[in-house]
């Protein structure tokens, strides 16, 4: 009887371990170094957590939440243009919020021009977030935000 119970427990453990295995997500590693430069975003982002560790928000992945923002400053070129007329612009910035809540791999999805893209990227790099969550654990996820400029 003890032998049958041991065999049943072992079989039960093996079956639960086999069904619970999923390919592990790779650890996210930033591909850019932080600079004031802001490259254009690719036409399309690939989300393969098992390869690059970056998740797409949705389903069981909860979005990161902004914890701290920094206002973006106007560039010198924008200040010069704004001296003669009312000036308003919007830059859309995409980035990966890592598992610690720090923006990485910042790129420009929709440029504002006049040197404002670099200012938007500079501000976003100083933002802090509560990271995205998958099954309650922090994970890296791609996010986007619009940075507004006006004088």
- The token pair that represents 122 in the structure block: 């500079």
Measured distance CA(35)–CA(105) in Å, rounded = 10
Statement: residue 140 has pLDDT above 80:
yes
Measured distance CA(83)–CA(109) in Å, rounded = 27
pLDDT digits (tens, 9 = 90+) for 18-33: 334 455 677 777 776 6
In a domain, 11, yes or no: no
pLDDT digits (tens, 9 = 90+) for 46-57: 888 888 899 999
As for how many domains the chain has, the answer is: 1
In a domain, 119, yes or no: yes
pLDDT of 125 reads 96
In a domain, 3, yes or no: no
Q: Is 68 helix (H, G, I), strand (E, B) or coil?
A: strand
Instruction: Domain of residue 79: give its range.
Output: 25-150
Closest CA to 72 of 32, 34, 127, 27: 127
In a domain, 20, yes or no: no
- The token pair that represents 143 in the structure block: 């996010």
In a domain, 12, yes or no: no
pLDDT of 16 reads 40
pLDDT of 84 reads 67
In a domain, 124, yes or no: yes
In a domain, 75, yes or no: yes
- CATH number, domain with residue 40: 3.30.2420.10
pLDDT of 6 reads 40
pLDDT digits (tens, 9 = 90+) for 80-125: 876 667 778 999 999 999 999 999 999 999 999 999 999 999 999 9
């Amino acid at each position: 009887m003890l032998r049958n119970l041991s065999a049943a427990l072992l079989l039960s453990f093996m079956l639960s371990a086999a069904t619970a295995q999923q390919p592990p997500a790779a650890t996210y590693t930033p591909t850019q170094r932080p600079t004031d430069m802001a490259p254009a975003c690719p036409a399309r982002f690939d989300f393969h957590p098992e390869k690059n560790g970056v998740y797409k928000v949705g389903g069981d992945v909860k979005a990161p939440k902004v914890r701290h923002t920094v206002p973006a400053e106007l560039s010198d070129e924008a200040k010069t243009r704004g001296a003669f007329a009312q000036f308003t612009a919007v830059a859309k910035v995409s980035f990966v919020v890592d598992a610690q809540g720090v923006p990485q791999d910042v790129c420009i999805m929709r440029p504002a021009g006049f040197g404002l893209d670099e200012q938007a990227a500079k501000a976003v790099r100083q933002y802090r977030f509560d990271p995205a969550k998958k099954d309650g654990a922090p994970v890296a996820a791609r996010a986007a935000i619009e940075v507004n400029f006006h004088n």
